[in-house]
Amino acid sequence: MKISYKWLKEYIDIKITPEELEQRLTFAGIEVETIETLGEELKSIKVAKIIEKESHPNAEKLSICTVFDGEKNLQVVCGASNCAKGQCIAFAPVGSIVGNFKIKKAKLRGVQSFGMICSEKELGLSENHDGIMVLREGAEIGVNLSEYLDYQDTIFDVEITPNRPDLLGIIGVARDLSALLGLELKLPETSLPISSINISESLQLKNENSEKCPRYIARLIKDVKVEESPEWLKKRILSVGLRPINNIVDITNFVMMEYGHPLHAFDYSKLEERQIIVRNAKKDEAITALDNQKYQLIEDDLVIADSTKPIALAGIIGCQNSQITNETVDIVIEAANFLYSSVRKTSGRLKISTDSCYRFERGMSDINAKNVSDRACSLIIEIAGGSLANGTLDSFENIKEPVQVSLRPDKVRSFLSIDINDAKIIEYLENLGLKLIEQSSQKISFTIPHYRNDLTREIDLIEEIIRLHGYNNVASKLKTQNIMNKELFQLRRSVQDFLINEGFYGTVNWPFADPESLNKLKISENDLRRNFISIKNPIGKSFSVMQTTLLPNLFKNALYNINHNQKDLKLFELTKIFKKSDNISKREDFTVSGLITGKFLEIYWNSNQQEVDFFDLKGIIEDLFDYLKIEKFTMVKSKENFYQLQLGVDVLINKKIVGSFGKVDPKIAENFEIERPIYTFELNLSEINKINCFKKHTFIEIPKFPPVLRDLSILVSKDYSFEQLENCIYSTNPKVIRKIVLFDEFTGKMIDKGFKSLSFNIMFGSDTKTLTDDYIKKLFDKIVKNLKQKYNIRLR
Amino acid sequence: METRLQFLIDQARKEITEITSLNELQSRKSHYIGKKSPFTELMKQLKELPKEERPEFGKKINIAKNQLQLMITEKESSLKQLAYETSLSDNIVDITMPGRRRNKGALNPINKVWREIEDVFISMGFDVAEGYDIEDEFHNFDALNTPQDHPARDLSDTFYIDNNILLRTQTSTVQIRVMENHQPPIKIIAPGRCYRNDNDASHSPAFHQVEALVVDEGISFADLKDVLNLFVKRLFGQNIESRIRPHFFPFTEPSAEIDIVCLKCLGKGCNLCKGQGWIELGGAGMVDPNVFDKLGIDSEKYSGYAFGMGIDRVAMLKYKIPDMRMLFENDIRFLKQFK
């Protein structure tokens, strides 16, 4: 629903800015979805004066005006018949935007025109397109139209929740704000002059279904003048997104937007036998509604009728047969309440959606019907003249007693966990229109105002109190804790999960070590891993220090299993290693180590059984990092002495070594009595966690254009690495080259000595277009050229 | 021209009837139906006919072409059906042969149970706290109300690194660490490794414990019992009851030992529970006010409970592992059982 800031200010003296108001509304449960600043589009339109008018030499209907815009005279061609010399008009200069059109210099039938004189419709101010908009005499020339019309306003588009139909009018919102901001609410005053006609002599009301129509008020106003609404009214109507039609219809719409309660006006002269009957539709009855549509009714639908025909679909839409026209003289004003479920059924079935049924479907107040009737009649007499017939026809059988609700102030305090005294509780609720009946320290009772049907229980009142008090004013009473190191915990689990999935078995060993084991690993004398924490009273020399690497225990586990004829092994341990430090938190690091030997995969009826090799291990590490979302790591030749020459790799993240992997030098393995190829890795998880190198996991757009694949087979000197060649290919066009897969590598008889054959599958892709064959061919040639230049390759 | 058409029709019919593969059909199809088909050629030659014969003959060509089209379509569907049937019979395999399995690994039962215990407690709102294996005497003894001359401090029971530095003998040290750094409410477990200078069939010098600590306003003995009961049921099964009975620990008052129904005989009495029907799981109790006082937590305002148990022992009970040493041998034939 749209709420105008200016309109709102008529009922409540808001001192805060629209921006602050937005915050207050949203945090009071009236969520502001968008804010629109009105009048912006009229700022480029100027108030100008027609100082000369001549007829167009080549077109009868056009005239050539000289317009003064406050600075200069401009020649403008105008087609409106009402344009005349001396008028103040709304002038759209070249470059301004009217509706969706940008005004340009134009030639109309051979005559230059520098701008446009606008109609109200063109400016979006009304449906009036009869001629140009004529402004009042003596208007200040040169000011912008927004200023002239006092059109600046801020419009809040708010979401009204279904429990609050009372907020479907601006007064309802003002009432809530008055409670929220502690400001007085000013309701509009009505004055209803007494006339000599009596309504009972002129109109009859019969309500045949008081269940579906709990209240119906009809009033008669004679001799009104139906015409265009005054400016202020049109402005209000426009500001909340409605279109001005005529003064009577505009007033009913205005009052609906003001009070949130819909009304309807009928042309009295169209009512057969001067009757208004609220009744169920008859079988096979049909209406033509104000939206020009014909609707077939069923007996369940409620209609307003005269003695012969329906004149409105109750609470939903009026019929054409009784609508207000320019010829209308006498009118009947309907203010009623219709059962929400009945309105909903009919509007749903006929797929009609109007401002009126939107409100009735949410439940309106019987009492409010009288308020809006008074307000509408008062405005009509003020604006459209006429005389109001004496009295009302009011069908109101079941006058409901006001609802009473009690609350326990102690419950309020404990439930909301806020410090609030009884007086404040009462103040909040009274501000919302509740009336205090009874008060004790245990219990406070209120009557609920007619427009707040949503308040029926203590908990409803508690909600109102906290809404006004402010959700954000509830102090935190944190009953939860944040002790866990969730990141490290998750990292350890992820590593375990990954390795189990890769076929590894977890081992558990005593975390003691034999200092001699580091000699067996050829770990150098000054290596930090020799900085042991020693135990004063160990259970034996082999267990005399705390471990600084997990590898010796894994070798021991491997040996045990090999000796028990279990030769295909994938083992890992994830636990702490220890190092000397005065700082207790730096002594212990979670580390994971693994060991692979034998067949990489278990025996299976048509797989080829292969012994594990370096690239099996490297793949595991790469997959692990992928799984852990570690993207930026580098692998370099290892500095460890226990890896076989050229088959060990140190892993670096942020230039820091976090671990290594590779094939264990057979002589080192022998030191641990193992005479088989052994592959190991060791990664310091605490380090990895500290570096915090994990990539944020976010969705990447799936390519809209199909990728193109090309194979490239080359002969290249063994001196050049795959990495060098890969980088060379990528760098040719990193945006389009998406992936490079090495699918073959061989050397041997067919290949010249010192050379190797490599085959790549290159994937090309684009986010914006389908790559043409021609484009790919050019790029491919460029890749080959680069490779030839840099690495002297030959194509195969 | 008439004969030419008839010849074309006959030839096409014969050809299509003899086709046996979809590929072949495809190529003949484009030959006969495509832009350069002999029928199109014939159409072009129409102008050579006398004017009045043209419409009639044109119609004939079209009819022939349509018939041919229909024939091709029919042939196509029959060939497809044939291919489908062949594919079915060609792909019959012995479905009793073993599936192609990915070989998954497993955790050591200690780690497996460790994670299960963590998960049960996390489901009950506990945080998992970390501690240090290498501790000082204050956190391992003093703060836990274990006096200087207590036998537990003997060199024969505790591994010492330095005078004051030792390998923790219990995870209760984490209680102290957490209470030093956090005000209540506290609701944590601390699983981890502990050390005692003991090495025989039922003792390992390095072993694993989990400790739970809850401190808040209004925590009572009943809370301890309720959480223990729920934990035991969630870890061992809904039918496993637990009980506590009086005992002594320096840092809890009252202190208790936790028993659970014997997992082997379910309470009937057997060799595992030595006929008792119950087996011991761990220790528990309400945090001694002295512990709170040492750490500056108001023992009038707050109360709490703690309990602990051996993870290795839980693993042995749960999987009925007879010998503790098997847990540390890491025999792959043993580990494979814990997939």
Q: What is the pLDDT of residues A184-207, one digit of tens each?
A: 999 999 999 888 889 999 999 999
CA distance A227 to A97: 30
Nearest to B204 by CA among A514, A512, A536: A512
Contacts of B185 in chain A (CB under 8 A): 479-481
**What count of CB pairs under 8 Å joins A to B?**
139
Q: Given a cut of 70, is residue A685 above it in pLDDT? A: yes
A458 touches chain B (CB under 8 A): no
Tell me how far apart the alpha carbons of residues A464 and A416 are, in angstroms, rounded to a whole number: 11
Q: Which residues of B touch A594 (CB under 8 A)?
A: none
Each residue of B267-314: pLDDT tens digit?
A: 898 988 888 899 999 999 999 999 999 899 999 999 999 999 999 999
Cβ–Cβ < 8 Å for A680, A665:
no
- Prior bond of B50 cis (ω within 30°): no
Q: Which residue has the tokens 């070798």?
A: A555
Q: Which of A362, A206, A172, A189 is CA-nearest to residue A275? A: A206
Q: What percent of chain A shows pLDDT beyond 70?
A: 100
For chain A, the first-to-last Cα distance in angstroms comes to: 72
At residue B289, the pLDDT reads 94
The whole-number pLDDT of residue A552 equals 97
Whether the CB-CB separation of A372 and A335 falls below 8 Å is answered with yes
State residue A223's pLDDT score.
94
Length of chain A (residues):
796
ipTM: 0.86
Beta-carbon separation of A605 and B182 below 8 A: no
Residues of A in Cβ contact (< 8 Å) with B133: 511, 546, 576, 578, 588
In whole angstroms, what is the distance from residue A259 CA to residue A359 CA?
A: 11
Measured between CB atoms, which of A499, A537, A539 is closest to B105?
A499
Contact A247, A365 (CB under 8 A): no
Report how far residue A546's alpha carbon sits from residue A348's, in angstroms, rounded to the nearest whole number.
77
Q: What is the spatial distance between Cα B20 and Cα B15, in angstroms, rounded to a whole number? A: 10
A557 to chain B, any CB pair closer than 8 A? The answer is yes
A145 Cβ neighbours under 8 A, 6+ residues apart: A42, A43, A45, A46, A47, A90, A123, A151
Q: Which domains does chain B have, with CATH numbers?
A: 2-89 (no CATH), 110-338 (3.30.930.10)
Closest-CA residue of chain B to A496: B107
Residue A506: pLDDT over 80? yes
Nearest beta carbon to residue A536 from set B105, B160, B328: B160
**Minimal-distance CA residue of chain A relative to B108:** A506
- Return the residue of A nearest to B189 by Cα: A484
Identify which of A485, A496, A493, A589 has the alpha carbon closest to the alpha carbon of residue B128: A485
Kindly determine whether residue B167 and residue A537, on different chains, have CB atoms separated by under 8 Å: no
Give the pLDDT band (50/70/90) at residue A475: confident
Beta bridge partners of B249: B252
Predicted pLDDT at A478:
65
Low-confidence residues in chain B, pLDDT < 70: 152, 155
Q: Is B96 touching A (CB cutoff 8 A)?
A: no
A534 with B188: Cβ contact below 8 A:
no
Nearest-Cα residue of chain A relative to residue B200 = A539
Q: How far is CA A6 from CA A15, A41, A260, in A?
A: 12, 18, 17
Question: H helices of chain B, where?
Answer: 2-18, 22-33, 38-45, 54-90, 109-123, 137-140, 172-181, 221-236, 289-295, 311-319, 326-329, 332-335
pLDDT tens digits for range A207-260: 999 999 999 999 999 999 999 999 899 989 988 889 999 999 999 999 999 999
Could B331 and A566 be called an inter-chain contact, meaning their C-beta atoms sit closer than 8 Å?
yes
Nearest C-alpha of chain B: how many angstroms from A629?
22
Interface check B319 vs A, CB under 8 A: no
Q: What is the least distance, in Å, from the CA of B218 to any CA of chain A?
A: 13
Nearest neighbour of A510 by CB, restricted to B97, B328, B332: B328
- Closest CB from A484, A485, A505 relative to B335: A505
And the tokens for A637? 């030749």
Q: Is B111 in CB contact (< 8 Å) with chain A?
A: yes
Q: What is the pLDDT of residue A794?
A: 92
**Contact criterion met (CB < 8 Å) for A484 and B128:** yes
The partner residue sitting opposite B104, judged by closest CB among A479, A488, A501, is A501
Which chain A residues are Cβ-neighbours of B155 within 8 angstroms? Answer: 536-537
Q: Which letter does DSSP use for residue A319 in this model?
A: B
Q: Where are the beta strands (DSSP E) in A361-422?
A: 387-388, 393-396, 404-407
Phi, psi at residue B2, to the nearest 5°? -55, -50
CB neighbour class for A513 (10 Å; exposed up to 12, middle 13-18, buried from 19) = buried
Global confidence as pTM: 0.76
| pLDDT tens for each residue of A354-367 | 999 999 999 999 99
Please choose, from the candidates B157, B111, B311, B302, the residue with its C-alpha nearest in 3D space to the C-alpha of residue B220.
B302
Token pair of A629, please?
């979302």
Determine which of A31-35, A321-325, A647-651, B63-67 has the lowest per-residue pLDDT on average: B63-67
Residue type, A535: I
Amino acid (1-letter code) at residue B62: N
User: Tens of pLDDT along A726-756?
Assistant: 999 999 999 999 999 999 998 888 888 889 9
**Of residues A500, A539, A601, nearest to B106 (C-beta):** A500
pLDDT of A123 above 90: no
Residue B332 touches chain A, beta carbons under 8 Å = yes
With an 8 Å Cβ cutoff, is A178 touching chain B?
no
Whether residue A609 has pLDDT greater than 80: no
Q: What is the nearest CA distance from A691 to chain B, expressed in angstroms?
A: 19
What's residue A392's pLDDT?
A: 93
Reported as type and span, the H/E element at residue A31 is: strand A31-38
Chain A: residue whose CA lies nearest to B160: A536
Q: Measure A563 CA to nearest chain B CA, in Å.
A: 10
B148-to-B174, B175, B248 alpha-carbon distances in Å = 20, 20, 18
- Given a contact cutoff of 8 angstroms between Cβ atoms, the answer to whether A571 and A557 are in contact is yes
How high is the pLDDT of residue A216? 97
CB A420 within 8 A of CB A466: no
| Long-range contacts of B42-47, Cβ-Cβ distance < 8 Å, separation of 24 or more | B42/B1, B42/B4, B42/B5, B42/B8, B45/B1
Q: Is the pLDDT of residue A442 over 80?
A: yes
Cα B13 to Cα A580: distance, rounded to the nearest angstrom: 93
**DSSP H or E stretch at residue A772:** none
- Contact predicate A260/A169, CB 8 Å: yes
Contact A497, A564 (CB under 8 A): no
Angle between helices A170-181 and A247-259 (to 10 degrees): 30
The mean predicted confidence, pLDDT, of chain A is: 92
CB count within 10 Å of CB A676 equals 14
Task: Flag if B162 and A501 touch (Cβ within 8 Å).
Answer: no
**pLDDT value at residue A177:** 92
Q: A126-152: per-residue pLDDT in tens? A: 777 788 888 888 888 888 888 888 878
Q: Express as a percent the part of chain A with pLDDT over 90.
A: 74
CA A490 to chain B, closest CA, distance in angstroms equals: 11
A664 and A642 in contact (C-beta within 8 Å)? yes
Q: Which residue of chain B has the CA closest to A570? A: B105
Say what the pLDDT of residue A208 is: 95
A110 touches chain B (CB under 8 A): no
- Residue B262, token pair as written in the block: 């014997």
Q: Which residue of B has its CA nearest to A599?
A: B103
Q: How far is Cα A332 from Cα A264, in angstroms, rounded to an integer? A: 8
Give the per-residue pLDDT at A237.
Answer: 92
B residues 146-165 near A, CB within 8 Å?
A: 155-156, 159-162
Question: Cβ contacts (< 8 Å) between B335 and chain A: which residues?
Answer: 505-507
Residue B203 one-letter amino acid: H
pLDDT tens, A292-346? Answer: 999 999 999 999 999 999 999 999 999 999 999 999 999 999 999 999 999 999 9
User: How far apart are the C-alpha atoms of A82 and A151, rounded to whole Å?
Assistant: 24
- Residue A21 sits at the chain B interface (C-beta within 8 Å): no
